[in-house]
Amino acid sequence: MLSVEETIVGTEAAQIPKQRGESLLETAVRYAEERHWDVFPGTWLEAAEGVQRCSCGQVACAAPGAHAARPDWATQATGSATVARRMWQKQPTASILLPTGRTFDALSVPETAGFLALARMERMELALGPVTLTPDRRMQFFVLPGASVKLPELVRKLGWSPASLDLTALGEGAYVPAPPTRYGSRGAVQWARRPTAANRWLPDVEELISALAYACGRERDR
């Protein structure tokens, strides 16, 4: 697994994962500036009686410090590096969230199925986009927008019931947390497959669905 601290040699988007010692502000600005992803600040972690708690105030928050802070987050998201800088200057420890359904959708699967599918895709030499790994043991494969609409029928064509697989598509109205956002004490979001200049052009869901559905089917039958 690749670490968020790895540095990619090269130019332009290839520089994104260089995050050791970088602030959330600097990272958010670079996502907007170098990858042209929309970004918006989410909740953040606050110390309370020696415990890291989510700024939302919910003691049992499911994603502490890693979810939207406002109901109108979709209108807050921006692709402007200047606006992103201004937003994180107001709250420097806010999580970095990326809205889906704009420059990309995300296919979300369990970690074990994700790594199985990733290995299979690499053997097949498929062109892959970035892939994140979250502390709640989910992987998100970035694909072209529109995947959330296509996914159910594609799964049916492969002989599966969409409800039978732990495979979902995040599109318009959803978002994913970006590295190095932290989930409370559980750890930080990482890149399982980092963004590079080579994978700026994302695959379509049709190119990845077979490997992902197979891996999720294996996971289900274990």
Q: Is the pTM of this model over 0.85?
A: yes
The pLDDT of residue 179 is 96
Mean pLDDT, range 156-171, rounded to an integer: 95
**Rounded Cα gap, residues 101 and 83, in angstroms:** 20
Question: Percentage of residues in the chain with pLDDT exceeding 70?
Answer: 90
Cβ within 8 Å of residue 94, ≥6 positions away: 24, 41, 42, 43, 44, 69, 87, 88
pLDDT band at 48 (very low <50, low <70, confident <90, very high): confident
The pLDDT of residue 50 is 77
C-beta pairs of 117-126 under 8 Å, 24+ apart in sequence: 117/141, 117/208, 117/211, 117/212, 117/214, 117/215, 117/216, 118/192, 118/193, 120/211, 120/214, 120/215, 121/208, 121/211, 124/211, 126/203, 126/207, 126/208, 126/211
Mean pLDDT, range 9-26, rounded to an integer: 56
> Among 134, 114, 111, 133, which residue's Cα sits nearest to residue 122?
114
pLDDT band at 17 (very low <50, low <70, confident <90, very high): very low
The answer on pLDDT for 10 being more than 80 is no
Residue range 107-148, pLDDT digits in tens: 999 999 999 999 999 999 999 999 999 999 999 999 999 999
